[in-house]
């Protein structure tokens, strides 16, 4: 902590705050646009005062979980109205013991981006020292958010080797925690489709059994583009508790980072998976950067690609590393993302190395059956693409786009390239060109 002589510990730019209703586990840096003319500490950072309470200084803390946040209250009200008496609510109760809305809230599916609403100044500043017309901010100061959060100053970490710029950047080990609005909307629409497709007579005691996909590639296999989906998840006409559960799980796994994906799989009753054996795995920014440098030096072998330059055989790309593993172990979603971008924007699509680097930010989930990287639809949405889920037997839309078939094999996500504008036999993710 930075001090100005004896007495209270004063807050400077680059120190961190945390909110008791925010999901960012390691807080967020405090910024200051125009300083007050006083600097201190070895880095000579500007000292803050209690008037530094706007979003120029208090940037945000991931997602908001406050029950009093109006946006969250509205989401819960709508979902309770839609799902309260629905078959999918009965299914979720059967496998988890909770109603759907409570479970979705617990695992982070009902959330909104943290947008601090802090019109009042910081409380408990040092009133004996006035800086630029306001008390100096100290480590004991408190800021109240109208959405229900209490913001406090964090103790300085002893290990500072991963500290970054004070200009609002996140820490090395902090995964992506704010899902793109387009990806959230696509996931919500898919959940509504799954709910509507379930038989009305679904009983309270429905149980989930694993619906094995025919693919056995450990979650990293890619069929050639145009080969069709070979991992059936079940059709709308013959929906079961298992297929509905798995489709809901896949929607979550392609949308949210590992912190949520690792919880939703056992929560939705997927066979053989529990909170103890679904382990999130992370790479620091330094590790990801080192891997990017190494991967950029590797030439894509022609034997791994088809005539369109799309990846069809990940086993031929094992010189590429993802989470310190060969890509055949953990690179299925990266290959699916690369292929989709290559189809939509062949002249300006990112390299496979760059896709790996960006998708590693979502973390991975390690299970007894292998490892997978979540966040595919969110990554594509962040690239400016349109994303939409289609249930089995739905007509894929006409027009330019890339269709990705999704399937589960013992809890590991697999991907198949599909021919657009057909009836797929599996849950599908349709990706449309950049805006």
74: phi then psi, degrees, rounded to nearest 5: -65, -45
DSSP state string for 360-389? GGG-EEEETTEEE---HHHHHHHTT-EEEE
pLDDT for 248: 83
pLDDT in tens, 75-115: 777 667 666 666 666 666 665 566 777 767 766 667 678 88
User: If 0-12 CB within 10 Å is exposed, 13-18 middle and 19+ buried, where does residue 93 land?
Assistant: middle
Average pLDDT for residues 375-399, to the nearest whole number?
A: 91
Helix intervals (H) in 53-86:
70-83
Count of alpha carbons within 13 Å of 352, Cβ hemisphere only?
A: 27
Q: Looking at residue 234, what is its pLDDT? A: 29
Confidence category of residue 297, pLDDT binned at 50, 70, 90: very high
pLDDT value for 88: 64
The pLDDT value given to residue 261: 83
Tokens of 115: 């947008």
In this predicted structure, what is the pLDDT of residue 173?
Answer: 39
Cβ neighbours of residue 185 closer than 8 Å, sequence gap 6 or more: none
Q: Which residue, among 418, 325, 307, has the nearest Cα to 364 in the 3D structure?
A: 325
The domain spans of the chain are: 1-64+114-171, 236-432
CB contact at 8 A, 274 and 292: no
> Tens digit of pLDDT for each residue in 328-368?
898 999 999 999 999 998 888 899 999 999 999 999 999 88
Q: Tens digits of per-residue pLDDT, 215-239?
A: 323 333 333 222 222 222 223 333 4
Cα separation, 211 vs 209, whole angstroms: 6
pLDDT tens sequence across 178-223: 778 888 888 878 887 887 776 554 433 333 333 333 332 333 333 3
The CA distance from 422 to 400, in Å, is 13
> What span, in angstroms and rounded, lies between the C-alpha atoms of 189 and 60?
27
Rg (CA), the chain: 24
Nearest-angstrom CA–CA distance, 346 and 235: 33
CB neighbourhood size of 156 (10 A): 14
**What are the DSSP calls for 77-108, one per residue?**
HHHHHHHTTSHHHHHHHHHHSS-HHHHHHHTT
């Amino acid at each position: 902590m930075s001090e100005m002589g004896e007495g209270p510990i004063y807050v400077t730019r680059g120190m961190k705050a945390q909110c008791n209703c925010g999901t960012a586990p390691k807080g967020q840096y405090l910024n200051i646009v125009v300083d007050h003319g006083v600097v201190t500490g070895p880095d000579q950072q500007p000292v803050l005062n209690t008037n530094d309470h706007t979003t120029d200084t208090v940037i945000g803390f991931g997602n908001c979980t406050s029950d009093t946040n109006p946006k969250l209250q509205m989401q819960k009200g709508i979902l309770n109205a839609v799902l309260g008496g629905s078959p999918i609510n009965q299914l979720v109760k059967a496998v988890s013991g909770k109603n759907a809305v409570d479970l979705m809230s617990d695992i982070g599916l009902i959330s909104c981006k943290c947008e601090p609403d802090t019109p009042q100044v910081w409380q408990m500043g040092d009133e004996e020292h006035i800086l630029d017309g306001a008390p100096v901010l100290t480590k004991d100061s408190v800021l109240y958010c109208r959405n229900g959060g209490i913001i406090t100053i964090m103790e300085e970490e002893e290990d500072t080797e991963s500290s970054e710029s004070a200009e609002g950047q996140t820490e090395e080990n902090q995964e992506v925690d704010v899902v793109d609005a387009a990806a959230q909307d696509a996931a919500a629409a898919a959940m509504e489709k799954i709910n509507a497709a379930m038989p009305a007579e679904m009983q309270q005691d429905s149980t989930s059994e694993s619906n094995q996909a025919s693919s056995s590639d450990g979650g990293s296999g890619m069929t050639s583009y145009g080969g069709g989906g070979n991992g059936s998840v079940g059709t709308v006409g013959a929906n079961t508790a298992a297929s509905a559960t798995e489709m809901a799980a896949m929607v979550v796994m392609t949308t949210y980072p590992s912190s949520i994906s690792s919880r939703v799989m056992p929560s939705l009753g997927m066979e053989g998976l529990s909170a103890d054996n679904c382990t999130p795995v992370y790479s620091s920014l330094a590790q990801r950067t080192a891997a990017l440098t190494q991967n950029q030096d590797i030439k894509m072998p022609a034997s791994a690609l088809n005539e369109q330059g799309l990846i069809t055989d990940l086993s031929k790309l094992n010189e590429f590393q993802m989470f310190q593993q060969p890509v055949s172990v953990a690179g299925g979603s990266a290959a699916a993302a690369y292929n989709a971008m290559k189809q939509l924007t062949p002249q300006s699509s990112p390299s496979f190395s760059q896709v790996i680097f960006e998708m590693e930010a979502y973390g991975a989930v390690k299970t007894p059956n292998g490892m997978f990287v979540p966040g595919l639809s969110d990554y594509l949405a962040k690239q400016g693409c349109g994303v939409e889920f289609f249930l089995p037997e739905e007509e894929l839309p006409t027009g330019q786009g890339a269709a990705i078939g999704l399937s589960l094999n013992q809890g590991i996500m697999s991907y198949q390239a599909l021919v657009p504008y057909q009836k797929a036999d599996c849950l599908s993710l349709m990706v449309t060109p950049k805006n």
